Chains A and B, each alone.
Chain A
Amino acid sequence: MRTVPITARITLPPSAQRGEVVTVRVLVRHPMERAVDAPGLTPVPRKILHTLRVTYAGEEVFRMALSPGIAANPYLEFTTVATETGDLVFAWEEDGGTIYRREARLVVT
């Protein structure tokens, strides 16, 4: 399985206190090609990011199943409890099996 980097903007607070609920915002660059087949259009095969898994210090904390009904350049906002200083790893799986990965560090004081 190929793992490649992807352009994404991940927004986290600069630091958080232990037990604090932090809001995570993530915007990823992807066309979310949904195979529109209409007269006058060249058909393009469907190619979307269909799953996003978020792990925090190695443990999965959030998962999202995406469909062609998610806008291009998918945006997501969710929350997580700050437990320890560690990496939030975002792994998007695309149609065809490619996995895109980005990481962001959450500093817990």
Chain B
Amino acid sequence: MTVLSRRAVLAVPLAVAGASGAAAEDFAAATRAILAGRAPAEGGIFLEIPPLSENGNSVDLSVRVDSPMTAEDHITAIHILAEKNPFPLVATFSLTPRAGRAEVATRIRLATSQTIVAIAETSRGAVHRATREVIVVLGACVETG
């Protein structure tokens, strides 16, 4: 019994380290999958998120992209990625010209202080990216330490 619980305790830091390593890989893979070899432009997209959040359980976030939103030239998708979350691809919004404006807002969970990335895809195949650093005082994940 003692041996078992000791093993369980020893396994915890390993599991946590493994999880964060996997998250970094997932983040890179998710970013690559969205970009699909295209180089993102760093302008024309505005990501708003508080630079400091007391609580990672619910963080307001909004994204606005400059686009005429016509049939020929509109935003087709907006992706939200959180670099150090266990699931780095937080949300994907699919838009059509019927949106009128490329503007979305939601509330997300953040595991820890990290980089938030918003990527927008246009109907012409271009991609725009915005990046913000956020500090999270109390993360949304359960502390195991």
Contact = CB atoms under 8 A, between A and B. Distances in A.
A69 B94 contact: no
A7 interface: no
Contacts of A70: 90-91, 106-109
Contacts of B142: 36, 38, 41
B144 A64 contact: no
Contact of B98 (A72, A77, A80): A80
Contacts of B88: 69
B101 to A, nearest CB: 5
B47 to A, nearest CB: 14
Interface residues of A, number: 30
Contact of A39 (B12, B62, B87, B141): B12
Chain A binding surface SS class: strand
A104 interface: no
Nearest to A65: B92
Interface residues on B, range: 20 to 34
Interface string A70-85: 1110111111110100
B130 interface: no
Given A36-B141, A69-B87, A74-B106, A64 B94 contact: yes
Interface in A20-67: 21, 23, 36, 38-39, 41, 56, 59-67
The interface centre, meaning the residue of A65, A69, A76, A81 with most chain B CB atoms within 10 A of its CB, is: A69
Interface in B93-133: 93-96, 98-101, 103-110
Contacts of B99: 61-62, 78-81
A67 B103 contact: no
B31 interface: no
Contact of A78 (B82, B92, B93): B93
A62 B101 CA distance: 12
B92 A69 contact: no
A68 interface: yes
B107 to A, nearest CB: 4
Interface string B4-38: 00001000100000000000000000000000000
Interface of A: 21, 23, 36, 38-39, 41, 56, 59-72, 74-81, 83
